[in-house]
Amino acid sequence: MRKFVVTIEGKNYEVGVEEIGADQTVVNTVAAPAAAPAAPVAAAPAAPVAGEKVLSPFPGLIKKFLVEEGATVKKDQPILVLEAMKMDNDITAPCAGKVSFKTAVGNNVETNTLLAVIG
């Protein structure tokens, strides 16, 4: 039996696939998580962004913010942790200024997702 992890709407499910013959396969799924899925965070209406954008360099999970909303940061100061492939990656400010986060802790983001604005 080969095991795979399938992600559906942000939830991971472990799936086992057993080969029976040349033409047939049987799929066994592990029970879905007991907790009800959290409501997705609604994106703010698209508005012009004033300041330097901080984009996600790769897909991942927003693990934590390292500074508070509205904090003044220095260039290259870590502002949040993005987890990708079980590794924590510090995302740094591209310039000095006040930080305004455009995502939330716990969100899964794709490459080039707007994470914050430094202005």
Convert the pLDDT of each residue in 78-118 to its tens digit: 999 999 999 999 999 999 999 999 999 999 999 999 999 99
- Give the mean model confidence (pLDDT) for residues 55-60: 95
- Give the mean model confidence (pLDDT) for residues 51-80: 95
Helix ranges, 5-51 (H): none
The rounded distance, in Å, linking the Cα atoms of 24 and 29 is 17
The rounded distance, in Å, linking the Cα atoms of 10 and 18 is 25
Question: Considering the chain, what is the average pLDDT of its residues?
Answer: 82
Strands in 108-109's sheet, in edge-to-edge order, are 87-92, 78-84, 60-65, 108-109
The rounded distance, in Å, linking the Cα atoms of 99 and 104 is 13
Question: Is a pLDDT exceeding 70 seen at residue 48?
Answer: no
Per-residue pLDDT at 39: 56
Per-residue pLDDT at 112: 95
Per-residue pLDDT at 117: 96
The model's pTM: 0.59
Question: Is a pLDDT exceeding 70 seen at residue 36?
Answer: no
The rounded distance, in Å, linking the Cα atoms of 80 and 106 is 12
pLDDT band at 75 (very low <50, low <70, confident <90, very high): very high
Angle (CA) 111-113-117 rounded to 5° is 135
